[in-house]
Amino acid sequence: MQPSPSLIPSRSNLAGWLYVSPLVLVLVPFFVAPILVVLAASFFATDGFGGLTPGFTLASYVEVLHSALTLKLYLATIKFTALTWVLTLIIGFFVAYFLVFHVRNQLLAIGLFLLCTVPFWTSNIIRMISWIPLLGKEGLINQALLAMGVIHQPLEVLLFSDLAVVIAYVHQLTIFMIVPIFNSMARIDKKLIEAAIDAGASRFDIMRLIVVPMSKSGIALGTIFVVSIVMGDFFVVKVMSGGGSASVVSAFYEDVGVLQYPTAAASAVLLTLVLVAIVSVILRTVDIRQEIAR
Amino acid sequence: MSAVLAEMPETATPATTKAIAPSKGGRPWTFYVLATLFAFYVIALYGPMFCIYVLSFQDIRGGLVFPMKGYSLHWFVDLFTQVRTGDVKGSFDRSIKLAVIVTIITVVVSFLAGLGFRRRFRGDTFVFYMMIGSLVAPGLVLGLGTGLLFQAFGLNASWYTSALGAQLSWTLPFGVLVMFAVMSRFNHAWEEAAYDLGASRWQSIRLVMIPVLAPGLVAVALFGFTLSYDEFARSLQTAGSLNTLPLEIWSMTLNVTSPSLYALGTVTTVVSFVVIGASLGSIVLIQKKRGSRAKG
């Protein structure tokens, strides 16, 4: 993606815009406009039956910000996000590390990598419900634990609990960590590590001073994916918690269900602002455009 | 996975430089620890999915958990013949059609955007971040906005209008990011050579770029199809009165407690695997053909 000095700027401006115009023509009506509609709706008044009165009132924001529920929802969402982020990061980092530095055969490494990525292209909902026969009250894990005599009554916390929500998230999202981290690790020159070993670095030093800093951009990219997906999710929370937990977006979904559009919109705008803040902090540390194109 | 998929055959470095030193001889203890972790990860990744595939082949007495109660195709027949489980056949049909349309648009638009982003132009960063925004925005919120927008213009939401657009706002960023990775490995000398030999812009795209970039374009198509076929959050408020398959599965998770839910999972995963297999297979095939031509 290097700029080509050979082209006259004005011509390349026009050509560039012509090439991206179809993209813009999709994103404006289906990303920019919907966001603006939600923003506008958050300032409207409602009759409580789904009818919106155009106008400008901050009532919905006041309602959202004053409700104790909001704080609870954000805390729950942050808890799920943080737990999922830490777990996906640890698993993703070491899986990528294993594939890049420990699998000596290149073809085998690519094969194992594909093995990790294939489920990404299958249905998330199906992957989520596939935990039911395992975690349920009569599921395999309880059956096994009962048979071994570890427990005497089936554990109920396995399914329809916060634990199940986090398991489902980690199951779905670790791939978003593995791929970018694998990508940046694969670019680390192995000679650098050989040199470090020759200079007397320990395994821990290599990890701390070479591998982690040089995988930072991959970690940042993975973090953007994981955080934005968990914070924007509602169906994993709804299904896997059995209705016991809620997140910001699942509350949004309930609001929409009872036609409380302005409150829902106000809460969505707040969530989007939080998300934008997080993503822009991450983007300051990494130029993802350079990163992907490198 | 984008970049890696696209660069698959080109990354082949000699296997000996691969391992952390020592590159020959015994493995360090960390190898065994990490290999165990990796094995656990893969088992946890595929194990649960495998369970529901197996459980979907129970007979009429079957339940949602092990042990297996008999073996039959009862729940698959049930899935496509029973009305109470919903309109599975119709939604399946719609999802495939929608995914094909999304795939075609995603490939064309991402390819063009990929060409455009090769050079800096005024406002390119703006377009880029608009795309990232579309990727990270909560899908349900975008879907609601799209639904309200259609309502405001008096248009009916349906799977081939509003849901199509909502899904494109999800597949296009992925497609363009894959194109970024693909394009960065494209040697500009080939294009220059085409121009030097008198090719028009269209000729150089059709005769040079598309054949060279073919594996990358297949990868974009794979993303377009599978992401659309499984898309849920953005379609929920935009699909109108007729469901797509993920929406059908969603409503089944809320009210169906028989293995027909698992049978549907098995069917849709088979479709996904066929698509993935065909895409990866054709990428390998293209590369192989190319390799033999280069040698011969």
Coil, strand, or helix at residue A258? coil
Contact yes or no for B123 and A179 at CB 8 A: no
Q: Do A239 and B253 touch (CB under 8 A)?
A: yes
Interface of B with A in 230-249 (CB under 8 A): 230, 232-233, 237, 246, 249
pLDDT at residue B131, as a whole number: 92
Window 195-234 of A, Cβ < 8 Å to B: 197, 203, 206, 224, 228, 231-234
Whether B84 shows a pLDDT value over 80: the answer reads: no
Query: Is there a contact between B140 and A91 if contact means CB atoms under 8 Å apart?
Result: no
pLDDT-derived band at B295, boundaries 50, 70, 90: low
Higher pLDDT: A287 or A178? It is: A178
**pLDDT confidence bin for A141, thresholds 50/70/90:** confident
* Lowest mean pLDDT across A176-180, B42-46, B85-89, B194-198: B85-89
Alpha-helix residue ranges (DSSP H) falling in chain B: 2-7, 29-55, 74-81, 88-116, 124-136, 139-152, 162-183, 188-196, 201-203, 210-229, 233-236, 245-255, 260-295
Give the highest mean pLDDT range of A258-262, A286-290, B232-236, B256-260. B232-236
SS (H, E, C) B13-35: CCHHHCCCCCCCCCCCHHHHHHH
Q: How confident is the model at residue A50 (pLDDT cuts 50, 70, 90)?
A: low
Out of A51-65, A102-116, B219-233, pick the least confident.
Answer: A51-65
Across the interface, of B137, B140, B230, the residue whose CB is closest to A123 is B230
Cβ contact, residue pair A272, B137, below 8 Å? yes
pLDDT in tens, A201-221: 888 888 899 999 989 888 998
Q: How far is CA B252 from CA A172, A204, A239, B164, B195, in A?
A: 20, 49, 11, 23, 56
Is there a contact between B149 and A34 if contact means CB atoms under 8 Å apart? yes
According to the model, what pLDDT value does residue A251 have?
A: 86
pLDDT at B63: 76
Beta-carbon separation of B141 and A38 below 8 A: yes
Q: Which of A75-89, B87-101, B118-132, B209-223 has the highest mean pLDDT?
A: A75-89
pLDDT at A11: 65
For chain B, how big is the Rg over CA atoms in Å?
Answer: 23
Least confident range from B139-148, B192-201, B245-254, B270-279: namely B245-254
- Rounded distance between C-alpha atoms, residue B182 and residue B293, angstroms: 21
pLDDT of residue B35: 93
pLDDT of A10: 60
Q: How would you classify residue A259: left for phi > 0, otherwise alpha for psi between -120 and 50, otherwise beta?
A: left
**Confidence band, pLDDT 50/70/90 cuts, at residue A13:** confident
Residues 177-216 of B with CB under 8 A from A: 177, 180-181, 183-184
Average pLDDT, chain B: 84
User: Six-digit token pair at A108?
Assistant: 């085998």
Strand ranges (DSSP E) for A106-223? none
From CA B186, how far away is CA B207, in angstroms rounded? 14
CB B74 within 8 A of CB A148: no
pLDDT number for residue B175: 94
Whether residue B190 contacts residue B208, with contact meaning beta carbons closer than 8 Å, is answered with yes
CA A155 to chain CA mean position, Å:
29
Percentage of chain B surpassing pLDDT 90?
Answer: 28
Contact A77, A286 (CB under 8 A): no
Nearest CB to A31 within list B112, B169, B184: B169
Does A54 have pLDDT greater than 90?
Answer: no
Position A72, amino acid: K
| Mean pLDDT computed over A109-120 | 88
Task: Report the C-alpha gap between B78 and B62 in whole angstroms.
Answer: 12
pLDDT for residue A184 is more than 60 = yes
User: Which residue of B51, B109, B134 is in closest CB contact with A134?
Assistant: B51
Cα–Cα distance for residue pair A278/A283, rounded to 1 Å: 9
Are A28 and A17 spatial neighbours (Cβ–Cβ below 8 Å)? no
Bridge-partner residues for A53, per DSSP? A45
Distance, in Å, from the CA atom of B245 to the CA atom of B95, rounded to the nearest integer, reads 6
The predicted structure's pLDDT at residue A48: 65
**SS3 string of B124-154?**
HHHHHHHHHHHHHCCHHHHHHHHHHHHHHCC
Bridging pattern class, strands A52-53 and A45-46: antiparallel
Q: Would you say residue A97 has pLDDT above 80? A: yes
B83 touches A at CB < 8 Å: no
Question: Best residue in B31, B38, B269 to probe A by mutation, most A CBs within 10 Å?
Answer: B38
High-pLDDT (> 70) share of chain B, %: 89
pLDDT at B101 (0 to 100): 96
What average pLDDT is seen over chain A? 86
Q: What is the pTM assigned to this prediction?
A: 0.86
Instruction: Name the band, by pLDDT with cuts 50, 70 and 90, for residue A137.
Output: confident
- B119 and A232 in contact by Cβ < 8 A? no
**SS3 label, residue A205:** helix
| Chain centre to alpha carbon of residue B281 | 15
Q: Name the residue among B1, B34, B52 with its Cβ closest to that of A94.
A: B34
Cβ <8 Å between B124 and A126:
no
| CA atoms within a 13 Å half-sphere pointing along the CA-CB vector of A292 | 25
How does residue A242 score in pLDDT terms, banded at 50, 70 and 90? confident
CB contact under 8 A, B172 and A26: yes
Mean pLDDT value of segment B16-20: 42
Read off the DSSP letter of residue A4: P
Per-residue pLDDT for B18 more than 60? Answer: no
Q: Which of A22, A98, A268 lies closest to B38 in CB terms?
A: A98
Q: Which among A86, A38, A111 has a CA at the least distance from the CA of A261?
A: A38
Q: Tell me, rounded to whole angstroms, the distance of Cα B168 from its chain centroid.
A: 12
Distance between CA atoms of residues B110 and B108, nearest Å: 6
Residue partners of A260: CB distance under 8 A and separation at least 6: A46, A48
Q: What is the mean pLDDT of residues A247-258?
A: 85
Could you read off the pLDDT of A122-136 as tens digits, one per residue? 888 888 888 888 888
Residue contact B49–A130, C-beta within 8 A: yes
**Whether the predicted pLDDT of B25 surpasses 70:** no
Mean pLDDT of A63-67: 84
Alpha-carbon distance of A222 to A215, in angstroms, equals 11
Q: Which residue has the higher pLDDT, A151 or B101?
A: B101
Dig out the tokens for A143 from the structure.
């059956």
Chain B residues whose CB is inside 8 A of the A19 CB are 112-113, 115-117
CA A171 – CA A190 distance, rounded (Å) = 31
Q: Do B1 and A117 touch (CB under 8 A)?
A: yes
Q: What is the pLDDT averaged over residues B162-173?
A: 94
Higher pLDDT, A242 or A90: A90
Taking 60 as the threshold, does the pLDDT of residue B90 lie above it?
yes
